[in-house]
Amino acid sequence: MSRTVITFGTFDVFHVGHLRVLERAAALGDRLVVGVSADALNERKKGRVPVFSERERLRIVAALRVVDEVFVEESLEAKRDYIVTQGADVLVMGDDWAGKFDEFADVCQVVYLPRTPAISTTAIIEHIADL
């Protein structure tokens, strides 16, 4: 039986840490679905408007070979709905979220993957701003 994996993120200023988490998520199943967070959600969550719009971020993530489907994540509260609607068997999150999504263990397997060290969108933006 086919196994669907779901993950969520902003994926702004796309970098190799993003690629690696998506590659490892894809390897856990047969179909990878990615919820890319809406611009408005980002502003609320990180207090920053993304460099690239949700339309652009969605297009970049959708173009990756390991990604089968993308959608805009409009609300953090809707996570359970997204998981169920997509028929996800596995929820993958970076370990910066370790333990935070255990409540969904009743509908899918919850896996936290180690973040790639020493890279983040925030660090890239700060690095460029300092040049």
Binding site for ligand CTP (CB under 6 A): 9-11, 17-18, 21, 46, 93-94, 96, 115-116, 119-122
Long-range contacts of 82-86 (CB under 8 A, 24+ apart): 82/6, 82/8, 82/35, 83/6, 83/107, 83/108, 86/4, 86/6, 86/33
**Nearest-CB residue to ligand CTP?**
94
Q: Which is nearer to ligand CTP, 11 or 82 (CB)?
A: 11
Tell me how far, at minimum, the Cβ of 84 lies from ligand CTP, in Å.
20
Query: Smallest gap, in angstroms, from Cβ of residue 42 to ligand CTP?
Result: 8
Helix (H, G, I), strand (E, B) or coil at 79: helix
